[in-house]
Amino acid sequence: MRKRKTIFDDGFQDHLTIDATFVGEPGIPMLMDLRNAQVPRDMIPFSMARKCPNKRQYIHFYMHDREFSRVLTATDQYLDLLKQYDGVITPDCTLMIGQSPCLQQANTYMNRAVGFYLQKNGIPVIPNIRWSDERSFDYCFLGVPKGSMVSVSTHGCITSREERRMFKTGLEAMLDALQPKTVLVHGYMPDNIFGEYLNQVEFHRYASQFERTHRKDGD
């Protein structure tokens, strides 16, 4: 572990991680204590946060990266908005099979860096955990305190047999590495992926925006 207290004007939001402790070979920022985070009453996508009257929710970033990239590059500009809500689930920066490991590590870094900075500004944070294949397990769980609450999303991640296999493999690795007490699941929770773990961990499922829109259209 190493800690940095200086800041570099390098254009990459280095100030987000001032006073952070960095862990692992890639140097992923370590999130602070997560005990002020509560199981969300509900979740709302960042894209809807400005117009939603119900602030008793957690904001999530389970959407295409381009829809929240400005939060990664200009985090300060969104603090006032994010503070209106109960808390934030850290950005779901893409980790994808076949993607450069360097880029996957950078996306893991930004997930934790933004989360750490929001914590420093008094916002309750729940870490989103994202992996690609087995090679990402060396770094994708770094920066998250063991035994805490975490969040994952199945939306768009379990459409094929191979994707379902890899998601279950990653879920098992995550449960082993982080030993979370509570796991939030954004999207569907198929029994053939989650079933054997239901007696080990407390799960809470939240419908994706696609599900909610589809239900409305079907009414």
Residue 210's pLDDT is 83
Q: How far apart are the first and last CA of the chain?
A: 53
Question: How far apart are the C-alpha atoms of 203 and 215, rounded to whole Å?
Answer: 23
- Across the 219 residues of the chain, what is the mean pLDDT of every consecutive 10-residue run? 57 88 97 95 96 97 94 96 98 94 96 98 98 97 97 92 95 98 96 96 94 66
Q: Is this prediction's pTM over 0.85?
A: yes
Residues 6 or more apart from 37 whose CB is under 8 A from it? 87, 124, 125, 126, 148, 149
pLDDT at 137: 98
Distance CA 185, CA 118 (A): 22
CB distance 151 to 184 below 8 Å = yes
